[in-house]
A = this chain, B = another copy of it.
Amino acid sequence: MGDKDFLIRAIRLAEDGIKEGGGPFGAIIVLNGEIISEATNKVVHSNDPTAHAEILAIRQASKVLATHCLSNCVLYTSCEPCPMCLGAIYWSGIKTVYFAADRQDAETAGFSDKYIYDEISLSHEKRHILFKRLSDVDGIEVFRIWDRFENKIRY
């Protein structure tokens, strides 16, 4: 199977997911030409706002490979990843992502992907969500404790 075939498979999963009550999104993760995980959106029926197809596929692939690092994997997703999923991709170490629809298409279909991309680029005070730093609470000391902790595993 080539990139196009894997992407078509991710879209087919998205279609199947609709009938199961999920949003119209699917994703698969491939390592050395083999599918190691696949997922559909499960936000509503698993009561989990983080249950996007890409997040579930990443979590499953990490479980299969028993590591939080998926640096040799490729992600195929029916739609451009939202900021949450994009962040997860960076943290996972995945270096290649193929997608079909984009954030504008998702917006047309009624999803907030583009809105969240727009919000993320705004300063805290301009966003629709209140992000407030309490500057009289010390959030730095815990990083110093981490720095001194000898058995830490960086990620």
Interface check A30, CB cutoff 8 A? no
Which residues of A, 109-135, contact B by the 8 Å Cβ criterion? Answer: 109-110, 112, 115-117, 119-121, 128-134
A146 to B43, CA, bound (A): 15
Describe A's contact surface by its main secondary structure: mixed
Selected from B8, B65, B151, the residue in CB contact (under 8 A) with A21 is B151
- Digit string of A55-91 for contact with B (CB within 8 Å is 1, else 0)? 1001100110111111000000011111111111111
Tell me which residues across on chain B come within 8 A of A153, comparing CB atoms.
21, 44
- Size class of the A contact interface (CB-based, 8 Å): 35 or more
Chain B CB within 10 A, most for which of A87, A91, A119: A87
A94 to B47, CA, bound (A): 15
A136 to B100, CA, bound (A): 8
A88 and B50 contact, CB distance less than 8 A = yes
A129 and B78 contact, CB distance less than 8 A = no
Q: How many copies does the complex hold?
A: 2
Tell me which residues across on chain B come within 8 A of A18, comparing CB atoms.
142, 145-146, 149, 152
Residues of A within 8 A of B (CB): 3-4, 7-8, 11, 14-15, 18-19, 21, 23-24, 43-44, 47-52, 55, 58-59, 62-63, 65-70, 78-102, 105-106, 108-110, 112, 115-117, 119-121, 128-134, 136-140, 142-143, 145-147, 149, 151-155
